[in-house]
Amino acid sequence: MLPWLWFWAPQLHFPLSGNVEQDINTITRKWFAGIPASAGDGDIERQAVKVASYGRQLGLLTELILELAQKAPEKSPRAIEVCERLADIQHSIAQLKQPNAKNTDMAEQLLALQQQDPARFRTLCASLCETGISET
């Protein structure tokens, strides 16, 4: 039974009166959120990812699948379509990995730093010169 004019009842939230559920398992969640707790042995999963990241594993599998698909004598139209899509995805990821994109961004950031904070830019250049990297 609902009280009369229940929609005017105040909603007061005092400390610890609302939803206080919190994930406090910092070891598996904070630093390694890629593996759910129910996915096998977490320690083995963490060690496996240290050997080869998920991206590296998927990249190797993609290369293998595309190579095997090219050597297949007969392919269905669906298989051809999927292989083309997979090759497009692989090409897009390869474009993201090109060092020129990062170098351009880094050069722009250094120029911006030189204009915004010349002292910090000189300090950075001096530290780079100590490691054998020149300003030019």
Mean pLDDT by 10 residues, the chain (136 residues): 66 68 56 64 79 88 93 91 94 82 76 88 87 60
Whether this model's pTM surpasses 0.75: no
- Which DSSP string do the residues of 87-115 spell out, in sequence order? HHHHHHHHHHT-HHHHHHHHHHHHHHHHH
CA of 58: how far to CAs of 55, 125, 129, in Å?
A: 5, 38, 39
H helical segments located in 20-53? 26-29, 42-51
pLDDT of residue 49: 79
CA of 27: how far to CAs of 40, 59, 114, in Å?
A: 16, 28, 40
Which of 106, 108, 97, 115 lies closest to 133, judged by CA?
Answer: 106
Q: What is the DSSP letter of 71?
A: H
Q: How far is CA 86 from the centre of its chain?
A: 20
pLDDT of residue 42: 73
pLDDT of residue 90: 92
